[in-house]
Amino acid sequence: MMSAEVDTSRELAGFLRTRRERIDPADARVPEQRRSRRRTPGLRREEVAELANVSVDYVTRLEQGRGLRPSPEVLDSLAAALRLTDDERAYLFDLARQRPSVPCRAPRRQAGPLAQLVQDLSPLPAMLTDHRFDILAWNPEMAGLMLDFSALPARQRNTMWLCLLHPGLSAFYTDRQRVIREGIADLRAAWAARPQDAPLGRLIAELTASSPEFARLWQRHDVRVNGRGRKPLLHPRLGPLTVRYEVLAPLQERDRRLVIYRAADPASQDVLDVIAREAAAGRPP
């Protein structure tokens, strides 16, 4: 069973190794004669060491999880050598404890003043989540689009849990693999930024034990914070539609996320209009 807290040395080791293995030696300008007869994909440790201007022994000890804490300068060099994205670089600094940790709050189901804002966004489907993906508030349009959240036990009101384990949503996301992959990459960033968040650790442990799909993708060590995008959906009664989503973070409650859906095309707007009319009439989801 996975620990509720982040094993930073082990996670840093796995993260550096997977980032190294994904780089094409040709893209890193490794001489052609050194690219042949490789047993493993990506760059070798000595090549990363050379690019980052550190010793091979140092890279080896990092990848073996031997408790090193690299300086910000070394982290910057490693991030450049491994061609990390901005999200991955922030994750690397979180793992090395070179960035202030986000304060850990106990699970709080009360949405506070933001709950009214979610209702005010009608007829746009909207919901309020936290960094754990727990669903704290929703409007009738979001319930009509997805499912009746009020009928679920509180512990199941979590977008990642629902996507992976709720049978009623197995066909809801047309591009389900991408949605899950991106969600896990987002969850991993939250996990490293809050190393003492035991409820988040327990959620990850439960998903790892219950979903082979989650366990496999979690081991990819992908990191990406998703603020906007498109999702093709399949409503069980009204058919296909595509939404554009936007995720907003309130300044005074940084661990909250306001998620808003808008139609991506006229046909999808027609579907959302039907859902809005039904919500206004008080029809259950």
The pLDDT of residue 66 is 85
- C-alpha angle 256/257/263, rounded to 5°? 160
Q: Measuring CA to CA, which residue among 254, 235, 231, 226 is closest to residue 243? A: 231
Domains of the chain by range and CATH? 8-95 (1.10.260.40), 114-280 (3.30.450.180)
Q: Where are the beta strands (DSSP E) in the chain?
A: 126-130, 135-138, 228-235, 239-248, 256-263
Q: What is the DSSP letter of 149?
A: G
The pLDDT of residue 33 is 57
User: What's the rounded Cα separation, in Å, for the pair 274 and 145?
Assistant: 10
The pLDDT of residue 197 is 86
User: What's the rounded Cα separation, in Å, for the pair 197 and 190?
Assistant: 10
| Residue-wise burial string across 178-192, b where 16 or more C-beta atoms lie within 10 A, e elsewhere | ebbbbbbbbbbbbbb
Q: What is the DSSP letter of 193?
A: H
The pLDDT of residue 26 is 80
Contact 110, 21 (CB under 8 A): no
The pLDDT of residue 13 is 92
The pLDDT of residue 30 is 72
The pLDDT of residue 237 is 94
Residue ranges of the chain with pLDDT lower than 70?
A: 1-6, 31-37, 100-111
| 273 token code pair | 């209009």
